[in-house]
Structure 1
């Protein structure tokens, strides 16, 4: 069963995701970022334009297979078919189907109540699947 972690109180979903992905990349993790179609281009651009020395190698799920096979981080608006050994970073309001197929699931939740309501429902859905989500309050966490 995967670990499920809810990162609550992110002041900016995409900005926090960029920092999270950079840390994960430096730890040599393989991730898939599930993002809404509206945010896909914005996240891609944000990862390319981070501060000097903070580049995060990534690709989009519509890139060629060779590029996707060599990229430690893939971003897309559709969940991948192959999920083993992947960490899922969920930037959507949807619940992923078969979350247990991932090594780990990280849910990013902002301060916006329109984001928090669906996050509470996903929390209940994970519990119903027998998963025990962990809560990480970003307002209490030390800054990077």
Structure 2
């Protein structure tokens, strides 16, 4: 069963996701990042190139021909056909429960401090809990 970690009270979801992915990739994990829409996807893609002057995060869009050979995939399409090589970690920046989440060993839900995003995150937390997913909760900025 997919382990789900909630990271809440995040001031900047895109920057936070870049840091999460940097850590996951350093641990040799392949990662899929799910966004709400094309605008957030473009913001994330740009941030992956610019968030750090010293780090490189190899990434492509999930529908790219190189997807199976690239450790980090970005998508806003919940129905995207993902390579079988990318089933370790899903980072969800969207406000919906990804339909493919059960294919992953772990999912991280990144929830901002904005009320609409937090409310949607709380609903997903309750739904996952009712389905007996193993849940953990981390509050950004607290140890």
TM over 0.5: yes
Matches within 5 A, 1:93-108: 93-108=95-110
Matches within 5 A, 1:42-53: 42-53=43-54
Matches within 5 A, 1:54-133: 54-64=55-65, 67-79=66-78, 80-82=80-82, 85-133=87-135
Secondary structure of the equivalent of 1:14? helix
Structure 1, 50-59 or 40-49: larger mean CA deviation = 50-59
Matched, 1:33 2:33: yes
Aligned length: 139
Structure 1, 21-30 or 124-133: larger mean CA deviation = 124-133
Task: List per-residue Cα deviations over 1:80-138 (Å, max 9, x = no partner).
Answer: 44466331100000011253221101000111111100000000111122113110111
> Structure 1: 5+ residue runs without aligned partners?
none
> Structure 2: 5+ residue runs without aligned partners?
none
Backbone CA RMSD of aligned residues: 1.5
Q: Write out the 4+ residue segments of structure 1 that deviate beyond 6 Å after TM superposition.
A: none
TM-score by length of 2: 0.90
TM-score by length of 1: 0.89
